[in-house]
Amino acid sequence: MDKQEKVYVAGHRGMVGSAIVRKLRKEGFENLILKTSSELDLREQDSVNNFFEKEKPVYVFMAAAKVGGILANNTYRAEFLYDNLMIQNNIIQASYKNNVRKLMFLGSSCIYPKLAPQPLKETYLLTGELEHTNEPYAIAKITGIKMCDAYRSQYGCNFISAMPTNLYGPNDNYDLNNSHVLPAFIRKFHEAKIKNEPSVTIWGSGSPRREFLHSDDLADACFFLMEKYDEPGFVNVGVGEDIEIKELALLIKRIVGYTGDIVHDYSKPDGTPRKLMDVSKLTAKGWSAKIGLEEGIAKVYEEFKISAIN
């Protein structure tokens, strides 16, 4: 990547996009194009086309998406499908039309079948049924992968795809109505500690296993892939290790310093039993995660406490 060229980071205010911006600036990239959703609605095709024609970005990071946890995914199924399809369709098409040199599309580990063998290899895509609760989001992300490959095959576009595991980090979403499990736990245990509540309730049995990657590690991997990876298909991005949800709850409970009990609400769904990424394809290229889970959560909690006070 040429440091003098224009780089568009779609979704720069989100957890992933802001991490990519931090990484780019650290590497000396200052010619960044950043637009808020109020300035540019990525679901509007004409607006996106006009933006690309005016700005002519050379590199594009697609970190913009409608995201959320189990409750949000299952409640707003239409919006999760429509909004994500429109965002990625418009950006990919506009990137092709305006001769973007390289584009990275970011997806999610939810693209894999619910009962796929573990760890999840890139070759397992479309080999079984998806998890029902986040099927619309997963279908949108699978479409994005296939679009990048189709534009590469038909038009020679250097569009690549990366599928990160579960993420956490600065600028995460802590709204209990639509957040993911790790930030939701941080908020629940913190508020229970402040209010001196006797217990914290978590969904389901706590037996599903999840893998967690710090957003700064993801940004580092994205930059690495934009520099080193030019192939069809997609690359898993993760740490290669997972943890039971109930173990995660105990870890966050300890980091927060909460002394009450953990109660399980067995009426709530567990979701996919396990989602562990096979990251051998990425490690073979020369990249691996650097931030440990306990270290990462402790740092994120310190940042959360500051924002909670403010």
Name the pairing type of β-strands 274-275 and 209-210: parallel
Model pLDDT for residues 132-148, shown as the tens digit of each residue = 988 999 999 999 999 99
- List, in order of start, the domains of the chain with CATH numbers: 7-171+211-241+274-291 (3.40.50.720)
User: What is the Cα–Cα distance from 62 to 43, expressed in whole angstroms?
Assistant: 13
**115-150 as b/e: b if 16+ CB within 10 A:** ebebbbbbebbeeeebbebbbbbbbbbbbbbebbbe
Q: pLDDT at position 309, please?
A: 66
Residues 258 and 189 sit within 8 Å (Cβ to Cβ): yes
Average pLDDT, the chain: 95
Model pLDDT for residues 25-46, shown as the tens digit of each residue = 999 999 999 999 999 999 999 9
Q: Which residue in 105, 101, 145 sits closest to 7, CA to CA?
A: 101
Q: pLDDT at position 168, please?
A: 96
- Whether residue 137 lies in the annotated active site: yes
Peptide bond connecting 119 to the previous residue in cis, omega within 30 degrees of 0: yes
pLDDT-derived band at 258, boundaries 50, 70, 90: very high
- For residue 130, the 8-state DSSP code is P
Q: pLDDT at position 217, please?
A: 98
Q: pLDDT at position 65, please?
A: 93
- Phi, psi angles (nearest 5°) of residue 199: -155, 160
Kindly tell me if the per-residue pLDDT of 167 is higher than 90: yes
User: What is the Cα–Cα distance from 59 to 159, expressed in whole angstroms?
Assistant: 10
Considering the candidates 137, 168, 258, 301, report the single residue annotated as catalytic: 137
The pair of three-digit structure tokens given for residue 188, joined into one six-digit string:
């629940």
